């Protein structure tokens, strides 16, 4: 019962301002695509257009390859969960969840019995007779999820549904999304500004920036092979090391690194994730055991709980003909074992680099 969803060159003007520009994106049936973007990038507008609550200025929305433009919102087989739960305050929890079936003409008894199954799915089977006002924020959001699922949608749209919950509750919600996917296999579009949420939940991430899709691909690709520096930043990448590409290699303070095929010769930024770098202690103050690993001085050590973010000031190797100096960020697991002033070698795991345009 799951459908694919396609945006085909969708644009949306509000007065003179173009809020969505030529958005093309396909969400395969049963997959979960995260739309990741800052506030105001056009995420909700795109979801509203998918659901039929709004219409594109040009372009179209297709469900299973069929143009849905003429299909009214209530007949698209699409359900939406918003950031705010929006439950009916005067109906019990079970009657809130039974509401879509009641609207579809199902008897009260049958609708309630179906609703109970969806409440069990979201682990709120024992809360059926409560009023929405007697629920916590997390429970309310579970009820709205159950109500959306009770409509038996072919596509489920989630518009920042977990962003007002605390972090322990969001982890529970992530587990619930996994369970819903395993049991019902809906097609899901998740809108979020949270890259961790997108990375944990999605099969693929589409990065939306000022109404344009910058890149759409599997989660690791977005992290390790960003198309542009903007995508790297949106995914939380901290290192864009300036240098020069020539003949398939990039040269910078981090040395000479092989990069992806097809890079034109010229200035280029080496994108290397802070998690993909290692530091080698270099207590004698000299260069590390004769190899060409670049060295630098620790300038900052910041604890981030279970991780440490270390900043290292790296200078071009003597004799390299360059006087460049860069601050490189390295994320390490565990407690801080380094201090500002320590001299370290910086090593790039794998030795394969990725560059974007400078
Ligand atoms: N009905 C509207 N009329 C005018 N401008 C709108 C309307 N809806 C959204 N916008 C504008 O479109 C842009 C994108 O909004 P939105 O899709 O809500 O972004 P997001 O969900 O990514 O935060 C914002 O600049 C917003 O002010
Ligand atoms: Mg929004």
pLDDT tens for the chain, 358 residues: list them: 799 999 999 999 999 999 999 999 999 999 999 999 999 999 999 999 999 999 999 999 999 999 999 999 989 999 999 998 889 999 999 999 999 999 989 999 999 999 999 999 999 999 999 999 999 999 999 999 999 999 999 999 999 999 988 888 899 999 999 999 999 999 999 999 999 999 999 999 999 999 999 999 999 999 999 999 999 999 999 999 999 999 999 999 999 999 999 999 999 999 999 999 999 987 654 444 445 678 999 999 999 888 999 999 998 876 677 778 899 999 999 877 899 999 999 988 777 899 999 9
Ligand nearest to the CA of 82: 2
Q: 9 CA distance to ligand 2 centroid (A)?
A: 20
Distance from Cα 232 to the centre of ligand 2, integer Å:
22
- Taking the centre of ligand 1 as the mean of its atom positions, its distance from the CA of residue 217, in whole angstroms, is 25
C-alpha span between 332 and 291 (Å, rounded): 22
Token pair, residue 232, equals 């790297």
Residue with CA closest to ligand 1 atom 24: 40
Q: Where in the chain is the domain with CATH 3.40.50.300?
A: 5-224
* Centre of ligand 2 from the C-alpha of residue 83, in Å: 9
Contacts with 175 (C-beta within 8 Å, 6 or more apart), sequence order: none
Per DSSP, what are the bridge partners of residue 222?
Answer: none
- List all residues whose CB is within 6 A of at least one atom of ligand 1: 14, 19, 37, 39-45
**Apex CA 180: angle with CA 177 and CA 185, to 5°?**
115
What is the atom index within ligand 1 of the atom nearest the CA of 54?
A: 1
Pair of tokens at residue 218: 């599997």
CB 313 within 8 A of CB 290: no
Ligand 1 atom closest to 208 (CA)? 22
Instruction: Using the mean position of ligand 2's atoms as its centre, give its distance from the Cα of residue 1 in Å.
Output: 27
Tokens of 88: 């009916």
Kindly report the CATH number that applies to the domain delimited by 237-357. Answer: 2.40.50.140
Domain 5-224 class? alpha beta
Work out which ligand 1 atom sits closest to the CA atom of 14: 4
Q: Which ligand is nearest to the CA of 84?
A: 2
pLDDT of residue 336: 77
**Quick one: pLDDT at residue 196?**
95
The alpha carbon torsion through 8, 14, 15, 21 (nearest 10 deg) reads -40
**Total residue count of the chain as it appears in this document:** 358
Q: Listing from the earlier edge strand, what are the strands of the sheet with 66-67?
A: 17-27, 5-14, 58-63, 66-67
Handedness of CA 330, 336, 340, 343 (dihedral sign): negative
Please, are residues 274 and 329 in contact by the beta-carbon 8 Å criterion?
Answer: yes
Residue nearest to atom 27 of ligand 1 (CA): 40
Distance CA 344, CA 22 (A): 47
Which ligand 1 atom minimizes the distance to the CA of 160? 21
**Ligand 1, atom 7: nearest CA belongs to which residue?**
14
Q: Where are the beta strands (DSSP E) in 37-136?
A: 58-63, 66-67, 78-81
Domain with CATH 2.40.50.140 in the chain: 237-357
How many helices, marked H, and strands, marked E, lie in the chain? 8, 20
Ligand 1 centroid distance, CA of 220 (Å): 29
What the block records as the tokens of 89 is 């305050």
């Amino acid at each position: 019962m799951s459908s694919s969803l396609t945006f085909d060159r969708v644009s949306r003007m509000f007065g003179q301002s173009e809020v969505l520009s030529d958005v093309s994106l396909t969400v395969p049936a049963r997959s979960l695509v995260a739309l990741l973007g800052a506030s105001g990038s056009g995420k909700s507008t795109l979801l509203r257009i998918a659901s039929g609550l709004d219409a594109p200025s040009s372009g179209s929305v297709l469900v299973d390859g069929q143009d849905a433009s003429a299909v009214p919102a209530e007949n698209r087989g699409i359900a939406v969960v918003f950031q705010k739960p929006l439950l009916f305050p005067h109906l019990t929890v079970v009657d809130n969840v039974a509401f879509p079936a009641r609207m579809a003409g199902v008897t009260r008894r049958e609708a309630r019995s179906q609703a109970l199954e969806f409440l069990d799915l979201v682990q709120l089977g024992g809360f059926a007779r409560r009023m929405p006002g007697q629920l916590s924020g997390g429970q309310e959001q579970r009820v709205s999820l159950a109500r959306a699922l009770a409509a038996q949608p072919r596509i489920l749209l989630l518009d920042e549904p977990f962003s007002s919950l605390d972090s322990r509750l969001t982890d529970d919600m992530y587990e619930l999304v996994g369970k819903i996917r395993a049991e019902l296999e809906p097609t899901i579009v998740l809108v979020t500004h949270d890259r961790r949420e997108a990375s944990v939940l999605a099969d693929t991430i589409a990065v939306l920036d000022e109404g344009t899709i910058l890149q759409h691909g599997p989660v690791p690709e977005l992290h390790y092979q960003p198309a542009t520096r903007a995508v790297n930043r949106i995914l939380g990448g901290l290192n864009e090391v300036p240098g020069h590409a020539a003949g398939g290699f990039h040269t910078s303070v981090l040395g000479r690194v092989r990069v992806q095929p097809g890079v034109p010769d010229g200035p280029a930024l080496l994108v290397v994730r802070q998690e993909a770098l290692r530091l080698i202690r270099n207590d004698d103050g000299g260069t590390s055991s004769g190899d060409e690993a670049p060295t630098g001085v620790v300038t900052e050590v910041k604890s981030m709980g279970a991780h440490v973010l270390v900043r290292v000031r790296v200078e071009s190797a003597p004799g390299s003909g360059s006087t460049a100096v860069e601050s490189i960020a390295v994320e390490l697991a565990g407690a801080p074992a380094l201090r500002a002033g320590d001299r370290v070698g910086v090593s790039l795991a794998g030795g394969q680099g990725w560059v974007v345009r400078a």
